[in-house]
Amino acid sequence: MSGQTLTDRIAAAQYGLTGSEVARAVCKATTHEVMAPKKKHLEYLIQATQESNVNIPQMADTLFERAGNASWIVVFKALVTTHHLMVHGNERFIQFLASRNTLFNLSNFLDKTGSHGYDMSTFIRRYSRYLNEKAFAYRQMAFDFGRVKKGADGVMRTMTTDKLLKAMPTLQSQIDALLEFDVHPNDLVNGVINAAFLLMFKDLIKLYACYNDGIINLLGKAV
C-alpha cells in the first residue's frame, strides 16, 4: 500500500481537532506510505522536544499508540521516529522513555498482509528490542552512550573503576541488541528499513568508540 490512506488522513484530522499539533505530527510521520518519515515532520518533533510547554509523555504515548498498529509500515515508522527523537531530540525525551517500566512490546509482532509483511515483521521485532535496550542503558547509567564525550578526556576514558565495571556490561548488551538486527544489503528494500539501518549504523559507530575508550581505561587501571 502506498500513499496516505483515508485512515491516515482521518487520524491526523482527529488529532488536529483535539488541538494536539505534536500528536498530529507523529501521525503524519507514521503514515502507511512505504517511505521514511518525512524530514519536515521529524524536524517539527525534534523542535517540540526543546519546548518547555510540550507534553513529552503525550508525545511518547502517541508513538506507542502508533506502534500498536496492525500495519508493519506504521509500526516500523513509529520505531524510526522514536529512535530519531532519542538521538536528536532534547535529552528529556530519552529520559522519559528510560523512566517507563515498559516501552515497546513487539516481540510477537507479525503482519501477514502485503508482500513485505513477514520479512519486515522480523526486523521490527529486533529493532524494538534494540530501542528497549537503548532506553534501559540510559536508565542504568543516567546518560546516553551515543551522546557522551569520546576520546582522551571522554566519559568512558575517565570513569572510575566501579562505574566502569557497571558501564561495560550495559554497553555490551546495547551493542549485542543492535547487532542482532542482522540486516543484509538485499534486505534494504524500502525507505523505512533503510532509515532504521542508517540510524543504527550511526549508533554503532558511537557505541564502539565508547567501548574502545572503556577498554583503554580498564587496561590503564590494570597496569
Among residues 85, 181, 184, 179, the alpha carbon closest in space to that of 135 is found at 85
> Quick one: average pLDDT of 42-46?
98
Between residues 9 and 207, which one has the greater pLDDT?
Answer: 207
Which candidate, 137, 109, 139, places its Cα nearest to that of 122?
109
- Who's near 24: CB < 8 A, 6+ residues apart? 12, 15, 16
Domains of the chain: 6-222 (1.25.40.90)
What integer pLDDT is reported at residue 10 of this predicted model? 66
Q: What pTM was computed for the model?
A: 0.92
Query: Which pLDDT tens digit goes with each residue over 95-129?
Result: 999 999 889 999 999 998 877 899 999 999 999 99
Mean pLDDT, the chain, whole residue set: 92
pLDDT at 2: 46
What is the structure's pLDDT at 1?
A: 41
Per-residue pLDDT for 213 more than 70?
Answer: yes
CA 174 – CA 181 distance, rounded (Å)? 12
Residue type, 83: H
Q: Return the C-alpha cell found at 7.
A: 485512515
